[in-house]
């Protein structure tokens, strides 16, 4: 029996129970969790996590599985023979085809090409580039990406699609990159316009969940944490150069999958050059369920990323009461005014180092009061009902449904 709810057929290379690929998994999982009673989410993904050769255990490959509030089809590797993917998409009833990358050759380019050729009958397509059009992201392999986009425009791959931006900053990135393909930006409205601002949804995290595991400051050193994929985009090398200029004794714990091994070797060389009062440890990968506790055991998140369309790890740090020192390349802005951290340009390492020294000089009571304020800020910001409503309206518009008809 077909669903009476709008069916959102979501294509994404990695999904639950995976966690190594970063933000898109969390974004879609949070969306399913918070909107899965109103929409019928069906997800097509691969049967293994990022960088892992073995498939997931306890899932049915090449078949539909119930995962939370979604139906998930885990494709084995040979589904990427592409013709099978086209058949699967064309045979799966849906109101909206939801794509989660501008550059993925299998889960975006191939479906769009076959839609243009009439092999996939998706009348409504929403494409979320997930930060891929930020200046920092485009600077990496720029010519390859721009050549692809030029060809995609010539072939009209983006004909009649809706672009989802997670913020006004990303909306401007999309318009700057795509030029005449998209001209208008809207928050809500009719489908004639091409960019919709619908922020990524945070997890439903209670701000005090990690309070009991908060680190006791009996170690006088400041404990910093970096938790992200180890790749040039996340800019770990910048963070290490910052630490070279820090005067106070600090511990810097690095978590995340080594996505780029050549880049990691460059980071190791920087680690070896750091002064003795800076202790650096690589502590491996962290399952999502443990991120809040990891954050609570540190004094400051240091994440000078070149760009984030949302930054789930930033939200998770704030929810755990951990202040953040990040680049001004994410939607998390004006943090100093909010009293929860700082967002700085990437033009110099020195301001970052000075703020780390400042944090290291704070006494225990000041830090405890600060963490309470950070958790309060996170609770208020992440509970904003307009965040969920923006995604709800995006999919209703794309599916041609009215709010009153959603049951």
Using one digit for the tens of pLDDT, what is the confidence trace for 46-55?
Answer: 999 998 989 9
Neighbouring residues of 181: CB distance < 8 A, sequence distance ≥ 6:
153, 158, 194
Task: Give the integer Cα–Cα distance in Å for 268 and 144.
Answer: 28
3-state SS, 207-250, equals CCCCHHHCCCCCCCCEEEEEECCCCHHHCHHHHHHHHCCCCCCE
What pLDDT, on the 0 to 100 scale, is given for residue 403? 62
pLDDT, position 123: 86
CATH value at residue 69: 3.40.50.2000
What are 160-201's pLDDT values in tens digits?
899 999 999 999 999 888 875 555 445 444 444 488 999 999
With tokens 């943090």, the residue in question is: 335
Segment (H or E) for 64: strand 64-67
Is residue 12 a contact partner of residue 18, using CB atoms and an 8 Å limit?
A: no
Does the residue 29 lie in any domain? Answer: yes
Please report whether residue 365 resides in a domain.
yes
The pLDDT of residue 44 is 97
Do residue 216 and residue 351 come from a single domain? yes
Domain edge (last residue) among 148, 175, 201:
201
In a domain, 400, yes or no: no
Final residue of a domain: which of 201, 229, 251? 201
Residues 91, 195, single domain; the answer is yes
Q: Looking at the structure, tell me whether residues 215 and 306 fall in a common domain.
A: yes
1 in a structural domain:
no
Structure confidence by residue, pLDDT tens digits, 347-365: 999 999 999 999 999 999 9
Task: Calculate the average pLDDT of the chain.
Answer: 90
**What would the pLDDT profile of 140-154 be if each residue is shown by its tens digit?**
899 999 888 888 877
- Domain co-membership, 250 together with 104: no
Q: Note the pLDDT of residue 220.
A: 85
Task: Name the residue range of residue 51's domain.
Answer: 7-201
Clarify whether residues 293 and 333 are in a common domain. yes
- What CA dihedral angle connects 319, 305, 384 and 186, to 10 degrees? -170
Q: Is residue 395 part of a domain?
A: no
User: Would the pLDDT of 69 be above 80?
Assistant: yes
Residue with token string 């970052």:
352
266 and 168 co-located in one domain: no
Cβ atoms 248, 357 nearer than 8 A: yes
Angle of helix 236-243 relative to helix 261-272, nearest 10 degrees, comes to: 0
Task: Note whether residue 403 is domain-resident.
Answer: no
Is 394 part of any domain?
no
pLDDT tens track for 222-280: 999 999 999 999 999 999 999 999 999 999 999 999 999 999 999 999 999 999 999 99
- What average pLDDT score do residues 55-65 get? 93
- Between CA 257 and CA 19 the distance in angstroms is 10
Q: 190 and 216, same structural domain?
A: no
Q: Is the pLDDT of residue 205 over 80?
A: no
Query: Residue 115 has what pLDDT?
Result: 93
105 lies in the same domain as 254: no
Structural domains of the chain, count:
2
Same domain, yes or no, for 196 and 231? no
Cα–Cα distance, 327 to 156 (Å, whole number): 35
- Rounded CA-CA distance 168/190 in Å is 18
Structure tokens at 189: 């409205």
Q: From CA 57, how far away is CA 55, in angstroms rounded?
A: 6
Do 163 and 218 belong together in one domain?
A: no
Find the mean pLDDT for residues 365-376: 95
Same domain, 226 and 152: no
User: Last residue of some domain: 201, 236, 257?
Assistant: 201
* pLDDT of 156: 78
pLDDT of residue 214: 60
The Cα 234–Cα 375 span in angstroms is 24
- DSSP assigned state of 289: G
Question: What's the pLDDT at 2?
Answer: 56
Regarding pTM above 0.85, the answer is: yes
**Residue 83 and residue 19 share a domain:** yes
């Amino acid at each position: 029996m077909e669903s009476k709810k709008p069916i959102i057929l979501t294509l994404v290379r990695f999904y639950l129970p995976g966690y190594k690929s970063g933000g898109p998994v969390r974004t879609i999982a949070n969306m399913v969790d918070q909107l899965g009673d109103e929409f019928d989410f069906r997800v097509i993904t691969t049967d293994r996590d990022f960088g892992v050769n073995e498939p997931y255990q306890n899932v049915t490959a090449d078949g539909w599985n119930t995962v939370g509030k979604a139906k998930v089809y885990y494709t084995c590797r040979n589904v990427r023979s592409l013709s099978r993917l086209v058949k699967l998409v064309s045979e799966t009833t849906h109101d909206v085809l939801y794509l989660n990358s501008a550059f993925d050759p299998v889960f975006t380019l191939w479906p769009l090409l076959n839609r243009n050729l009439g092999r996939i009958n998706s009348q409504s397509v929403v494409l979320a580039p997930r930060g891929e059009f930020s200046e920092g992201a485009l600077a990496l392999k720029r010519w390859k990406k721009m050549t692809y986009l030029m060809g995609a425009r010539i072939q009209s791959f983006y004909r009649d699609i809706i672009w989802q931006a997670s913020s006004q900053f990303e909306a401007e990135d999309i318009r700057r990159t795509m030029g005449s393909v998209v001209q208008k930006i809207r928050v809500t409205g009719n489908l004639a316009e091409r960019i919709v601002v619908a922020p990524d949804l945070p997890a439903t995290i209670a701000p005090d969940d990690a309070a009991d595991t908060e680190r006791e400051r009996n170690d006088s050193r400041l404990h910093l944490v970096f938790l992200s994929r180890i790749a040039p985009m996340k800019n770990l090398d910048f963070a290490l150069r910052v630490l070279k200029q820090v005067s106070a004794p600090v511990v810097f714990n690095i978590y995340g999958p080594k996505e780029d091994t050549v880049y990691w070797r460059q980071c190791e060389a920087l680690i070896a050059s750091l002064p003795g009062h800076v202790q650096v440890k690589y502590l491996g990968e962290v399952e999502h369920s443990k991120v809040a506790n990891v954050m609570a055991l540190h004094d400051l998140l240091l994440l000078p990323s070149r760009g984030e369309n949302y930054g789930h790890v930033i939200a998770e740090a704030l929810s755990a009461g951990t202040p953040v020192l990040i680049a001004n390349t994410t939607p998390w802005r004006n943090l100093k005014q909010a009293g929860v951290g700082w967002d700085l340009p990437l033009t110099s390492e020195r301001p970052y180092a000075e703020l780390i020294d400042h944090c290291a000089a704070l006494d225990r009571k000041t830090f405890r009061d600060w963490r309470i304020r950070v958790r309060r800020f996170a609770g208020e910001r992440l509970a904003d009902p307009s965040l969920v409503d923006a995604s709800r309206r995006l999919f209703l518009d794309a599916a041609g449904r009215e709010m009153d008809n959603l049951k």
